[in-house]
A and B are shown apart, each in its own frame.
Chain A
Amino acid sequence: MGRQTPLYQLHRELGARIVDFGGWDMPVQYSSQIGEHHAVRRAAGVFDVSHMCVVDLKGARVRPFLRLLLANDVEKLVRPGKALYSCMLNDSGGVLDDLIVYYLADSWFRVVVNAGTRDKDLAWIRQHAREFDIGVLERTDFAMLAVQGPEARAKVAKLLSRVGAATALELDTFVGREIDGWFIARTGYTGEDGFEVMLPAADAERVWRELNALGVASCGLGARDTLRLEAGMNLYGNDMDESTHPFESGLAWTVAMDAAGTARERTFIGRKALEVIKAQGSARKLVGLLLEDRGVLRSHQQVVAPGIGTGEITSGTFSPTLERSIALARVPTGTGQQVQVDIRGKLLNARVVKPPFVRFGQALVAAGPGGTATTNPTKHGDRT
């Protein structure tokens, strides 16, 4: 038996199927994974993400500490509450984890890291925090709910005081603040609008039931995975890990080689390795795939780029919105628009597309048979 969140008993009561996820007993689905997926694209759904690890970092030198620790530059965070998506790299430029960091006050930042990498991340953070005299405090007192979908913010607002609701509804994307005793942020992992809410563990079950009563669907990790993949968002451990660097993981946009707003170089862990890679040019890239033949793309299937070489699918699934299979794949840099994927010994045709596949309920790639997949100009949503 794994670790359990404050909502575990409620998940059981609601009929969830429980699976192990990074050492946690988590709900993978309640009734229908596809139904939960559509609930988020069309209305609102709530996910238990209390397994994620929230860490408060406090100290007078917390900003210079994070500038060293993270590949994105926290100097971009000017207004309190603003969040930044970043990789945390090792010395070889490999991705230790991806995380969100919030600037709360001049001596107080908050990071949210993945559940499966918790121990390694905390050890790494503490090791480097020492010389900056930073307090590292894991917030195990919180539960965390992700309420996502076009109606999500309005539903959460109904649970708040009048002033709290107004404040929450005014939050810009990628900004969080404390409201009515909760930390509410306009962030997510689905490609839809919504909030991620950190709240006292004792409140979690009541709030979940109130959201259900307002028509917000209980959603499991299964739907969370199809939603994030449609949104073109990476999953740590699938799409990148310590053996891969950001440039071959679709994450170059999160690496700040120069200081924010300047052309001045800056120092961060992993930078030297990335410089070498950048000078040579990355041999591989992460792309989106849309399967043109019938079947389902899955991680570890081989991708064949005719005349170029081979690659591998890092995440694959059936897209409930497109009713097609989609994937992220790491392929040779020279790969063109058309590839083949080896599914049980058969080579099936797939088209290379630029993620995201779906954003705010809208398909961004043409999925029809023989259709031309369009190239989308937007970058990975709001995760900048």
Chain B
Amino acid sequence: MSKVPADLKYTKTHEWLRTLPDGTIEVGITDHAQHALGDLVFVEVPEAGRAVKAGEPCAVVESVKAASDVYSPVTGEVTAGNPKLASEPEVVNTDAYGGGWLMRVRPVAGGPAAELLTAAEYEKLQHEEGD
């Protein structure tokens, strides 16, 4: 069974969100997602300044097998893409909830957001999808 930290929020499309002290939101893909994708060999993260919209593709993660879109869970402006992933995409496999973060976004106040799940709800979703 994959790890699902209790202090994070999740999306149905297997992203996680962490609210940082400065109010920006850190986004990555879940342990379940990285496991399903397999060894990641290429990650394309958005550049700082890019506007992202909730539910729209904001990053691409590619395993040996296939390319997959990552969807932004919030609407806002990217403050940083994880620079380490250009040379070390495998960090998403080994540390999905830490060093494998994809982007940080400053959300638009009151802007639209994807439906967010608690850790318990996300675990249930994984179970239903046959983890």
Contacts and interface: CB of A to CB of B under 8 A. Distances in A.
B39 to A, nearest CB: 5
A112 to B, nearest CB: 25
Contact of B65 (A222, A294, A325, A344): A222
Kindly list the 7 A-B residue pairs having the minimum CB-CB distance in the complex, ordered from nearest.
A318-B41, A34-B39, A296-B62, A296-B42, A33-B64, A318-B64, A33-B38
Nearest to B38: A33
B86 A29 contact: no
A33 B67 CA distance: 15
B42 A32 contact: no
B64 A226 contact: yes
Size category of the binding interface on chain B: 10 to 19
A317 B42 contact: no
Contact of B64 (A222, A294, A344): A222
Given A34-B41, A295-B42, A318-B64, 7 more contacts: A29-B38, A32-B39, A33-B39, A33-B64, A295-B62, A298-B67, A317-B64
B60 interface: yes
Interface centre among B41, B60, B67 (most CB of A within 10 A): B41
A325 B39 CA distance: 14
A47 B41 CA distance: 23
The dominant DSSP class at the A interface is mixed
B52 to A, nearest CB: 16
A294 B86 contact: yes
Interface string B39-62: 101101000000000000000101
B64 A320 contact: yes
Contacts of A29: 38
Interface string A286-327: 000000001110100000000000000000011010000100
Contacts, number: 36
Contacts of B67: 296, 298
A296 B86 contact: no
Contacts of B66: 298
A313 to B, nearest CB: 13
B77 to A, nearest CB: 22
A95 B65 CA distance: 26
Nearest to A346: B44
B42 A318 contact: yes
22 contacts: A28-B65, A32-B39, A33-B38, A33-B63, A33-B64, A34-B39, A34-B41, A34-B64, A222-B38, A222-B64, A226-B64, A294-B42, A294-B86, A295-B42, A295-B62, A296-B62, A296-B67, A298-B66, A298-B67, A317-B64, A318-B41, A318-B62
B56 to A, nearest CB: 14
B71 to A, nearest CB: 15
A33 B41 CA distance: 11
A360 B14 CA distance: 40
Nearest to A32: B39
A344 B86 CA distance: 17
A32 B41 contact: no
A238 B66 CA distance: 15
A37 B107 CA distance: 42
A325 B66 CA distance: 12
A298 B60 CA distance: 14
Contacts of A35: 39
Given A222-B38, A318-B41, A33 B86 contact: no
Interface in A26-64: 28-29, 32-35
Contacts of A222: 38, 64-65
Interface centre among B38, B66, B67 (most CB of A within 10 A): B38
Given A222-B38, A294-B86, A296-B41, A33 B65 contact: yes
A17 to B, nearest CB: 8
Nearest to B41: A318
B95 to A, nearest CB: 16
Contacts of B62: 295-296, 318
A59 B5 CA distance: 67
A325 B65 CA distance: 12
Interface centre among A32, A296, A325 (most CB of B within 10 A): A296
A222 B64 CA distance: 8
Contacts of B41: 34, 296, 318
B61 to A, nearest CB: 10
B107 to A, nearest CB: 25
Nearest to B90: A34
A76 B42 CA distance: 45
A345 B103 CA distance: 22
A222 B65 CA distance: 7
A34 B60 CA distance: 20
A35 B67 CA distance: 19
A344 B41 CA distance: 17
